[in-house]
A = this chain, B = another copy of it.
């Protein structure tokens, strides 16, 4: 059948991403953070202050999970909830100095690992890769 090719791409994509997730989990095991907690901090580290909703959209977890994860991160003194004065439904998340320092201490190693993973791709290939993912992602939002 001709579908085999697309299906192969699909399976490869899903399995590789899961293995990477697994690899990150192993890396984080040395800290007392879990993948989802790390993902939240990562978003704040790269994008600065964000609403809970924005972070949830980026890392794709439910609002219930967000509350749970934020509670934990707040207890660990990694971030702070900051109510938004303009819209009282909204709460912003901000890294604390501790959170900032923590991220600065572990990101270099994380970045190194990411670069190692994608290091065998040329600049051009990385570009192509992102572009192809973009095409796939675009299809996700097309009605079937």
Tell me whether B127 and A139 are in contact (CB under 8 A): no
Closest B-chain residue to A12, C-beta based? B133
Tell me whether A6 and B136 are in contact (CB under 8 A): no
Number of copies: 2
Q: Mark A90-133, 1 if CB is under 8 A from B, else 0.
A: 00000000000000000000011111111111010111111011
Closest B-chain residue to A13, C-beta based? B17
Chain A: interface residue total (CB-CB under 8 A) = 51
A38 CB to closest chain B CB, in angstroms? 12
Tell me whether A8 and B130 are in contact in the complex, defined as CB-CB below 8 angstroms, given that A19-B140, A22-B60, A60-B22 are known contacts. Answer: yes
Interface: A68 (CB within 8 A): no
Tell me whether B139 and A12 are in contact (CB under 8 A): no
16 A-B residue pairs with Cβ-Cβ distance under 8 Å, sorted by A, are: A6-B117, A6-B118, A6-B121, A8-B126, A9-B133, A13-B16, A14-B21, A15-B58, A15-B137, A16-B136, A19-B140, A20-B140, A120-B138, A125-B132, A125-B135, A129-B129
